[in-house]
Amino acid sequence: MRKITEVLRLKHVQKLSNRKIASSCKIGRATVANYLKRAADAGIAWPLPEGMTEPELQARLFPQAKAQETSVLPPNPDWNLVHQELQKKGVTLFLLWEEYKNANPDGYQYSWFCREYRNWRGKLDLVMRQTHRAGEKLFVDYAGHTIPIADSATGEVTYAEIFIAVLGASSYTYAEATWTQSLPDWIRSHVRAFEYMQGVPRIVVPDNLKSGVNKAHIYEPDINPTYQDLADHYQVAIIPARKQRPRDKAKAETGVMVVSRWILARLRNHTFFSLAALNREIASLLSVLNQRQFRKLPGTRMSRFEELDKPALQPLPEHRYEYAEWKKVRVNIDYHVEIDRHYYSVPYQLVKKQLDARITAHTVEIFHHNKRVASHKRSYKRGGFVTVKEHMPKGHQEHADWTPRRLIRWAGKSGPYTAQVVETIMARKPHPQQGFRPCLGIMRLGKQYGDIRLEKACRRAVAIGSLNYKSIESILKNNLDQQELPGQDPTPEHTPVNHDNVRGATYYS
């Protein structure tokens, strides 16, 4: 109820300022000023005319109030349209209110517009009421359900995992079956999801699955290097959902629920004999799901995708991402790094340093402080070497600590047979440094079993013509060095010195 009489009394009798009157009456200063102005305009002074009641005073000061109450109310905005427009890039509530006000000059004010929109949005499901920008986020996760696939020959059953991806603005959904949740399947599912959606979002929101996140953290989660490599290729940001924050991944949770009910439940009585057959059925049902009418919003996932997300997605890169794994490697003294039992050269200046290796099906790239220092065609030959001439030290002796001559000299301390084995190993390599690694292995055997036993093992290796690390290791493990050799043992002195595979001592000088 208006406090007009009290305002006039405090002003004319108590001579208070508008600020103090507002504080006393618990009303705004603008309201106080409005009452005083209306009283002056109506010719009402203090004291009030005798017998004038409060309603009569209000009628004098607000003659149009009753007429306004019976006037036609402005039209309400279309909140469905407002909610949909908000998901477009750069659109704000204030902009939509301005457009509403331009179309309806007598329409409601901005504060009412915001309040009523929030009230309307609160009646939607949690996943719908969140405002997702078009083309901004893709939520990914695995369903809790699995689907059995039987081997037609043996009858053995394997359970396939179900990968799900949902776009934030349109709820457009992708799903597929994979054998595992391992890193290769995880990465390739992302690639196929991007291609299904014909574009790339700006942000991918995964759960804290081990394939994607090495270590969950509320502020700085540790992203798997291969997953980060995928993100760099497609120019997306990886922002994992926070642990125990279900609202961060509400779209993914709802996507899992919808796919489980509308796809997986329909396949529960089917028998599949291959992953390809299962994925064909999923694709067929997925098309129906994306064209199914929403219950609380107009349109379908497909129509909203075409209108909202698709125009806002980033284009796919020219080339599809090639799966790559990352591995920490340390450079041996032979300036090679080991990857799957094969050895690749790097610049010799990086000896003993830890580097990062990016490994694909066809290439091996080596990085030092994020700078590529070597690139090789991948080889699957176990024990082989790939050596770039430019990576080698000049004359094979730039790295002074380890040289062929030093290794032969060390071997000679154990005995002549050990020295012969070491020299022969290096002589068989295109470059002596490629023999460093097995020679160092023999050095460790000497520390493990002692120099005497090592010399005996090398003596037996020379006798049987098997001069390599594995042979000597086997002799020591099986105590064959303790057994007598049949017949006369060859000696290092009898070894031919003029042979294509023997360089001679002068080579290492």
Residues whose CB is less than 8 angstroms from the CB of residue 415 and which lie 6 or more positions away in sequence, other chains included: 451, 454, 455, 458, 459
Task: Give the mean model confidence (pLDDT) for residues 187-197.
Answer: 94
Residue 218 confidence (pLDDT): 41
Q: Which residue has the higher pLDDT, 431 or 292?
A: 292
Comparing CA positions, the residue from 23, 344, 390, 408 lying closest to residue 7 is 23
**Could you count the other beta carbons within 10 Å of the beta carbon of residue 257?**
14
pTM: 0.54
Residue 353 has pLDDT above 70, yes or no: yes
**Could you count the other beta carbons within 10 Å of the beta carbon of residue 30?**
10
Containing 189, the helix (H) or strand (E) segment is helix 183-196
Give me Rg for the CA atoms of the chain.
40
Name the segment(s) of the chain with CATH classification 3.30.420.10.
Answer: 137-312
Burial 461-473 (b: 16+ CB within 10 A, else e): bbeeeebbbebbb
Region of poorest pLDDT, from 404-413, 447-456, 458-467: 404-413
- Would you state the structure tokens that stand for residue 230, as one six-digit string? 């995928």
Percent of the chain beyond pLDDT 70? 83
Q: Using one digit for the tens of pLDDT, what is the confidence trace for 307-345?
A: 888 898 999 999 999 888 888 999 988 889 999 889 999
CATH 3.30.420.10 fits 137-312, yes or no: yes
How is the beta sheet containing 371-377 ordered, strand by strand? Answer: 325-330, 354-359, 363-368, 371-377
Residue 278 sits at the vertex; the CA angle it makes with 360 and 263, to the nearest 5 degrees, is 115
Task: Give the mean model confidence (pLDDT) for residues 476-503.
Answer: 62
Residue 411 sits at the vertex; the CA angle it makes with 342 and 493, to the nearest 5 degrees, is 110
Residue 374 confidence (pLDDT): 92
Residue 487 confidence (pLDDT): 60
| Structure confidence at residue 206 as a pLDDT band (50, 70, 90) | confident
Q: Which residue has the higher pLDDT, 226 or 242?
A: 226
Residue 221 confidence (pLDDT): 52
Residue 5 has pLDDT above 90, yes or no: no
Task: Give the mean model confidence (pLDDT) for residues 350-379.
Answer: 91
Q: Using one digit for the tens of pLDDT, what is the confidence trace for 391-445?
A: 877 655 444 455 667 777 777 777 888 888 888 887 777 666 667 778 888 888 8
The label of the residue with tokens 């340390």 reads 330
d(CA 21, CA 39) in angstroms, rounded, equals 16
Residue 502 confidence (pLDDT): 53
d(CA 238, CA 214) in angstroms, rounded, equals 13
